[in-house]
Each structure stands twice: as structure tokens, then as C-alpha cells.
Structure 1
Amino acid sequence: MDTADTFGRWLRSLASGLEQDVDQLKALLTDPVKPGSVQVLPYVGYRNATALRVSGRVIEHQAPLSSAEGVLDKLRAMWTIYNSREVGGITVRCEADGVSATCVSDEEGYFAFDLAIDRPLPPRALWEHVTLSPPGLEPHLPLNVPVLAPGTDDHWGIISDIDDTVMETGATDFAANWRRIILEQPAERLAVPGAADLYRLIARDHAAPTRPFFYVSSSPWNLYGFLTQFMELNRIPHGPMFLKDLGIDAGKFIDAGHKGHKLDAVRTILRFYPEHRFLLMGDNGQQDVEIYAQVVSEFPQRIGAVFIRDVSGECGTGAKAAHLAEMARLGVQTYCAASFADGVSILRALDIDNPVEATRASGEGAAVAAGTEAG
């Protein structure tokens, strides 16, 4: 082990200890959480034929985002989201498919269920439900939590980034990005032009999509409600989200960076649904191209098409272009353009409604319209 690695481990250990000290100090300086102010925040779940996964977080009650008006109110609302008061040690019960299980929220309020079930997936993608409740915290009513059950008639699924893929963030513009983060509410955030229309076309039916959507982002779990509200307002198909726990412990902010978190999430989805082929959607502002190229190299038969929104002007040059070309060489349809506006042409170019085995058999991929919109 070299000196740099040893120093890095020591620094992470020190930072983790400081974080725990700060959390303990906050607990001492604030009033105890009252049972009536405890809020269970469920995250949309998903299942296959043998397992059902649903998770969430227990926090002190937060006011709805929609109630924030004016700069100070918005600053206060966003501060509350990022500085949420987590509640550990709360028992949560999950009831699904005749199975009942309990778990206890950890020190950061998180809880997760991974239930063994025995129920085939439906022919058409469905939203099923489980109930979550915190026993002993009456009068809390059971929560009906959506669980995605992908259909077996259509073996396409979609794995999508969020920032600058469906929601404008200006992640490559530091000042613009931070202004949006600290001030803008869900109703004020802009969808990427054409994104909602394209995603609805892919889903075939926004109200009851026939294709499952999964969203992978390095945004923190604190923003789950914010992102969900944004998608509802813009009629973007719903789906389970794989967000990030911001912290300093092993496997969190310092150890698991943007690339590691997203790559692990995509692998998890692919392994959970071995019968599905996926369309990957992202942008080239950060590391989506590199991540998707790695995924294609590991699962070449599982990825049918890749769409990259060009926010950096690098579709046709540099390392990102080389990654796109390599994916095409492996037989994966690729599309890189600055806009989603021509959704029908994009779908025609990606050919996602037809098998890609013919393309692979020819040994030729297709780097479609690199650097330009499809025409």
C-alpha cells in the first residue's frame, strides 16, 4: 500500500469521525424529535418474480415545497431539505404479497426491505403497491407505496440520468448550477427541451407506461421529493430512483464518486432484470459516456441503444467520441445530439422497437447523427 493510499484512508477516517461528532453535537443542541413530528418518506420500489425491494427514510416533518414563496422562503425551504433531521431507531413495517416484515431505521434515518416473493411478472408493466407503517407511532396511517413490476411482453427498459438529461441544471456552469440548487423550486425548474415528449413516446403511455423507467443520479436522497414533484409537473414517466447518500463514511461521498455510484446502480438494475434489454440515456457534461461505455463492455448483449445529449460540443471529437465509436463497434445503436426535439426521428434512428440481433450479426453498430440532431 503506497503512502498516498494510506494518507487517503487516514483522511477519510478522520473526516468520518468528525462527521459523527458533528451529528452528536447537533443531537445534543436540538430538542428531541416528538413522535407526532416523525415523517416516513417512502421511495418508489421495484420487483422481479422472486424479490421485491422498497426503501425510504424517517425524518422530522418538513413543510411542502410548494408553500415556499419569495427568496428567503425558498432559501429556507432548500436549507431544510439539505439539512433534514433524520430519525434513527424507528421500526417500519412492510406488507406485500401476503408477506410482512419489519426493519429499524439506521442513524441517518434510512430503512430498506429486500423481500423474497414468488410471483411472476405481469405481461404488461404495472404499478403495484405495498404498505409501509411505523408501528407504535399512531396515529400514523399506513402509506401506499408504488412498486414497479416490469412487463414480460415488452423486454425494453430505460435507464436514464436526470441532471441535464431530463432536467436543466447547468451542471457544467458552476454559478448557474448553484443558483438553481439553492433557489429554484420544482415548478421553476426547466425540463430539457423535448425530453418529456421523447420519454412519453418511449413509454408509449404516460399514465400507464408499457416500458419501465429507472433513474440514476448523483443527486442526494434529500432531493427525492423535489425530483418526484418536478417529474409530475412535467409529465415525465415515473420510475424508481437510484440517488446518492451524501456522507463521509466508506461507500458515500468521498469513497463512491459520481462514476462509481452510477456504475453500481446500472449494474444493479441489469442484474435484477436479466431478461430485459435497456436503452441508456444521459449527457456528455460529466461522465455518463464513460460510464455507459463501461456498461456496454460488461453487458454487450443487454444494451440495445444509447442516447447522449450533447451539452459540451464533444460528440464528434475527443475521448467521449471514442467511447461512442467503441459502443457502436460492439453493435449498440448510439445517438449524440444537442436536443431531444426530434423525438420521432430519434426513435427511428435508435430502432428500439426492432430486435438488434440483425445489427450485431452484421458486425456493424451505428453511431447515429453524432454532433447533430437527427433529421
Structure 2
Amino acid sequence: MALFGRLLHAAALELERDIDRLTRLLPSRGDGRVRMLAYAGYRNATELRVSGRIVRFADALDPDEGFVARVRAMLAIYNSRELAGVTVRLEHDGRSDDVVSDEEGYFNFAIPIEEALPFTARWDAVTLTTPHHEMQTPSVEVPVLAPGTDDHWGVISDIDDTVIETGATNFLKNWRRVLVERPQDRLVVPGAASLYAMIARDHRAPTRPFFYVSSSPWNLYGFLADFMERNAIPHGPMFLKDIGIDATKFINTGHADHKIEAIRKILAFYPDHQFLLMGDNGQKDVEVYAAVVRDHRDRVGAVLIRDVSGSCKSGPNAEHLAGITTVGVPVYCAESFVEAHAVLESLGFERPAEAARAGEGS
């Protein structure tokens, strides 16, 4: 079976490369401009990380034109052409660094720096350009999170059914929402806005760092960022999923593997921070967070779970939550986050007036 899997992977990889070579020879479906999709970055005192993707989209469609237009607009997000071999330049603090996009169009910067973290959390900025490409992308200013040294709390949060209502446990409902609903059509999870505001103090400029770990594909980054902005969810770097095929992966890794790897990366990057883990029990969050607590007990301040499957008190999820509680990490698990403020208050978080007002709309 392992041999069959390797052969299937090799065949699929070669097929995708053939398709990519063919599409590069075809006339452009869009306006001919290369689009740089840059994702919010983050840094500590010794390293700065920024990533993104080089693609060419089809012409933009107006999703307000009706049902069919909405479906076509969402499909266009997924149906992008990736551009490999494009040089991307990052300029910051008087220096510049170059990387080249890979066969899936992705680029990643991990730049050594010597720059102390600020006392209060802030967003720095870097500039990205594609200096040597014949269809030059305009420069893009990318926000980079710099957590403050005045507070050592941070948040690692899921997105689907934790922040945004998706119905991820219902296949048909989830895909209807993915294909039809715009960011302004989607609903925020009850209690999420006020709870996250309580932690952040200011959703536009959080005084505590937020990181979002999700199995949603990178194609949805812009959609998710738009939704968070509209619903007063704190800004933060996202760790989404690459669902393509390359020499190291076949389609994608599982939900748990992707999330555990991303969380471990965050914990290693910020060794002085303690994190709240926030998610739901519709897929693998509870299992993932239990594994993180086992390996990093002293780094997790609390686990807050939204119950979308009725498994808080029975089954494997209940066993995982009991294990988390046994080692002394507080656990909250209920149908919404409306009553979760008490857990945070027990940890010393204060509920400011801004959080109370945000809660009125959640």
C-alpha cells in the first residue's frame, strides 16, 4: 500500500507539472498582471518572517450580481495560476533581501534581525516588490506583528466554527457557505467578538498577540481577513493550509498534523509567552490541544472550546479535556463563548468597556 501511495503521488505530481507547463503557454484569462498575495508577518527580537504567493487571477467578478456570480467569484479564488521562479524583494529598515517563489507560487522570508521587541505590542511594516519580473507587481506594504514585552499572554485560535460560523461538521452546509456567501454574509460565533476583545483590549491594535491556525486553504486568506475586520476580531498572522501537490506532499496533511506543527512553531518562536488555546470540538482541535498540553504544559494558560458536537461530557473529546484539566490547565467547553469570560477573569484578565460593547453585537 505504501508503494502504491508513492507511485500515485509521483504520477499526480507529474500530471500537475504538465498542467502547469500547459497553462503557462495559454493566453491569460485575466488582465495579464501578476498579483502578489502577501500574508501578515510576525517577528521576535532575532528573526522576521513574512510569506505570500505569486499568482495570476481571472478577471474580478462582482459577487453582488447574483447567485451564479457569487459562485463564479468564489471559484475564481481557488482557480488561480501560480507563478514559480519570481524574485520577491523585501525591504525593511534600510536593507533588502530576495527570495524566489516555488513551484506553487509561494515565497517565504525568514530574515535574521537584531531588533528588540517593543514594550507595547505594535504592527511594524515591510515592503515587498517583484523587481525582475516582466509583469511587475506594484509594491505591497505588509504588516508584521511585534508582540510587546509588557504582557506575556498570547492567543492561538482556530477559525472555522470558533470565530466564523461555517458548519464544518456538515459537509453540504459548509460547501454552500464556501461557494455562495461573502464575508459580509457570514456570521461571527456567538460571544467570540466580546471574548476576543476582552483579551486584545483593542481589536485593531491588540495589546496581546493573536495567531490563527486553521485547515482552511491559503486561497481564503483575503476572505478571512475581510471577515475578521468586519466583525471586530483582532488582527493576527494566520497559519493556513497548502492543499496542492509537490515533491514533499500529496494533496495535504491531516488537520491535526498541520495544526500541531503550526502551534509548535509559534511556541518555539515566542518562548516567553503563555498562550490561550481556543477552538471547537467539531474536528480535531481538542485532540490537538491535548497533545500540545502534554508536550508544553507550562506554555498553556487555558483551553477554551466551543461545543458544536455535543461531546464536552462524553466520548474521546471529553477524555482529552479531562486529561488537560488533570494537569492543572483550566478548560471551558460550552455551546458558545458567552460565559467564557469567567475563565479569563480567574486568570487575571479584566473585561474593559470596549469588550462589553463588542459583546452586544455578537
Q: TM-score, normalised by structure 1?
A: 0.88
Q: 2:199 aligns with which of 202, 209, 218?
A: 202
Question: 1:279 corresponds to which residue?
Answer: 276
Question: 2:130 corresponds to which residue?
Answer: 134
The offset of 1:305, in angstroms, is 0.6
Question: 1:18 corresponds to which residue?
Answer: 15
Q: Choose 140-149 or 154-163, whichever is displaced more.
A: 140-149
Alignment partners' CA distance in 2, 1:158 and 1:61: 33
The offset of 1:41, in angstroms, is 1.1
CA contact (8 A) 1:66 1:185 kept: no
Question: 2:177 corresponds to which residue?
Answer: 180
Q: Name the SS for the 2:275 alignment partner.
A: strand
Q: 2:89 aligns with which of 71, 90, 93?
A: 93
Alignment partners' CA distance in 1, 2:28 and 2:231: 38
Residue pairs, 1:337-348, within 5 angstroms: 337-348=334-345
The offset of 1:339, in angstroms, is 0.6
The one-letter code of the counterpart of 1:116 is P
Asked whether 1:219 is paired with 2:216, we answer yes
Identity %: 59
Asked whether 1:335 is paired with 2:319, we answer no
CA contact (8 A) 1:304 1:352 kept: no
The one-letter code of the counterpart of 2:191 is G
The offset of 1:353, in angstroms, is 3.6
Write out per-residue CA displacement over residues 21-47 of structure 1, whole angstroms, 9 at most, x where no aligned residue.
Answer: 33333334x215899511111100000
CA contact (8 A) 2:119 2:148 kept: yes
Question: 1:108 corresponds to which residue?
Answer: 104
The one-letter code of the counterpart of 1:201 is M
The one-letter code of the counterpart of 1:181 is V
CA contact (8 A) 2:31 2:59 kept: no
Alignment partners' CA distance in 2, 1:205 and 1:277: 19
The offset of 1:343, in angstroms, is 4.6
The one-letter code of the counterpart of 1:60 is R
Q: Choose 16-25 or 44-53, whichever is displaced more.
A: 16-25
Write out per-residue CA displacement over residues 221-265 of structure 1, whole angstroms, 9 at most, x where no aligned residue.
Answer: 111111111111111001000011112335545452111111100
Q: Name the SS for the 1:37 alignment partner.
A: coil
Alignment partners' CA distance in 2, 1:352 and 1:311: 27
The offset of 1:209, in angstroms, is 0.9
CA contact (8 A) 2:29 2:57 kept: no
Alignment partners' CA distance in 1, 2:222 and 2:84: 20
Q: Name the SS for the 1:247 alignment partner.
A: coil
Residue pairs, 1:288-303, within 5 angstroms: 288-303=285-300
1:31 to 1:147, Cα distance in 2 relative to 1, 3 A: same
Q: 2:66 aligns with which of 58, 66, 70?
A: 70
CA contact (8 A) 1:54 1:112 kept: yes
Q: Name the SS for the 1:305 alignment partner.
A: strand
Q: Name the SS for the 1:153 alignment partner.
A: coil
Alignment partners' CA distance in 2, 1:161 and 1:31: 39
Q: Name the SS for the 1:218 alignment partner.
A: strand
1:250 to 1:322, Cα distance in 2 relative to 1, 3 A: farther
Q: Name the SS for the 1:259 alignment partner.
A: helix
Asked whether 1:119 is paired with 2:115, we answer yes
1:312 to 1:334, Cα distance in 2 relative to 1, 3 A: same
1:78 to 1:15, Cα distance in 2 relative to 1, 3 A: same
Structure 1 residue runs of 5 or longer lacking an equivalent are: 355-375
Query: Over aligned residue pairs, what C-alpha RMSD do you find?
Result: 2.1
Asked whether 1:167 is paired with 2:169, we answer no
Question: 1:366 corresponds to which residue?
Answer: none
CA contact (8 A) 1:65 1:185 kept: no
CA contact (8 A) 1:306 1:335 kept: yes
The offset of 1:193, in angstroms, is 1.1
Write out per-residue CA displacement over residues 134-181 of structure 1, whole angstroms, 9 at most, x where no aligned residue.
Answer: 114577442111000011111001000000000111011111011011
Question: 2:359 corresponds to which residue?
Answer: none
The offset of 1:112, in angstroms, is 1.0
Question: 2:264 corresponds to which residue?
Answer: 267
The one-letter code of the counterpart of 2:341 is V
Aligned residues: 349
1:192 to 1:251, Cα distance in 2 relative to 1, 3 A: farther
CA contact (8 A) 1:158 1:281 kept: yes
Write out per-residue CA displacement over residues 69-90 of structure 1, whole angstroms, 9 at most, x where no aligned residue.
Answer: 3111111111110111112222
Alignment partners' CA distance in 2, 1:86 and 1:254: 16
Alignment partners' CA distance in 1, 2:257 and 2:251: 11
Alignment partners' CA distance in 1, 2:306 and 2:283: 11
